[in-house]
Structure 1
Amino acid sequence: MTNATDFVARYLTAWTSNDPVDIAAVFAPEAVYHPRPNASQIASGIDEITAFWLEERDEPGTWEFEWTVVVEDANAAAIRGVTSYPAGAKKGVYDNLWLVRFDTDGRAVEFTDWWISRKK
């Protein structure tokens, strides 16, 4: 399993469970999380990342996600995703580009989520 594949598997587990232990498995203790490239709020460290995640969380079963690794080396990856929300406030389809830098354990030390809503 590559760092990118392992990262996505752990991310999906955390996305589904919203469990702080699962979130901590995705990110290094000193990680930086950019929820979008132009975000005014950046979460630094696992405590801030976990709090941000839980504040913005999606409930299990409210989303679908397809993904592919665009490019990867031992230290970083670009991952293209498509997130679908069939109902609710976020209803629609979103294109994602995740930029991830990894530590030696394959956890994210830096994560940026570029996303845009498709036209309806």
Structure 2
Amino acid sequence: MTDLDAVTGWVEGYIRAWTSNDPAEVGALFAEDAAYYTEPHREPWRGRDAIVAGWLARQDDREWSFTWFPVTVGPDLSVVQGVTVYPRKTFSNLWLIRLDTVGQCREFTEWWMEH
């Protein structure tokens, strides 16, 4: 069952991977057969290897900060709202996170809108 501690741990791991762009840290976030939707209606990156490759192809090496809070945490779906601030742009983020029983993400969808 997913709880707030599991979601918090996963988001903290995501932030570490976002900061480092380390393939092992990115891969550790996701189940072997996970799906990562970079936009809600686009085909996802499917499988851990594809997720790591997609992440590294678009890695974010700019200066940024990210704040977040849970909107809802449930046994199958958790929703996180965040704000990403870059030097010249700010984005609102909404993440749909489906964790498995070991705390890896099996499905992730991100929405983002520029302020």
Q: Write the deviation string for residues 70-95 of structure 1: whole angstroms up to 9, x where unpaired.
A: 00023321000000111xxxx30000
> Matches of 1:14 and 1:44 in 2, distance apart?
18
Where does structure 1 differ by over 6 angstroms across 4 or more consecutive aligned residues?
none
Is 1:113–2:115 an aligned residue pair? no
What are the within-5 Å matches in structure 2 for residues 63-74 of structure 1?
Answer: 63-74=64-75
Which AA in structure 2 matches 1:114? Answer: W
SS at match of 1:49: helix
Is 1:82–2:79 an aligned residue pair? no
Is 1:4–2:7 an aligned residue pair? yes
TM-score for both structures, normalised by structure 2 = 0.92
User: How far off is 1:11 after superposition?
Assistant: 0.2
Q: Unaligned stretches of 5+ in structure 2? A: none
Mean Cα deviation higher: 93-102 or 66-75:
66-75
> Matches of 1:8 and 1:68 in 2, distance apart?
10
Q: State the match for 1:44 in structure 2.
A: 46
> Matches of 2:64 and 2:76 in 1, distance apart?
29
Q: Unaligned stretches of 5+ in structure 1? A: none
> Matches of 1:29 and 1:19 in 2, distance apart?
17
Does the 8 Å CA contact 1:63/1:85 hold for their aligned counterparts? yes
Q: Write the deviation string for residues 32-91 of structure 1: whole angstroms up to 9, x where unpaired.
A: 00001132x4200011000100011111x61110000000023321000000111xxxx3
User: How far off is 1:27 after superposition?
Assistant: 0.8
User: How far off is 1:102 after superposition?
Assistant: 0.6
> Matches of 2:39 and 2:10 in 1, distance apart?
18
Q: State the match for 1:13 in structure 2.
A: 16
Q: May I ask how many residue pairs the two structures share in their alignment?
A: 112
> Matches of 2:76 and 2:13 in 1, distance apart?
17
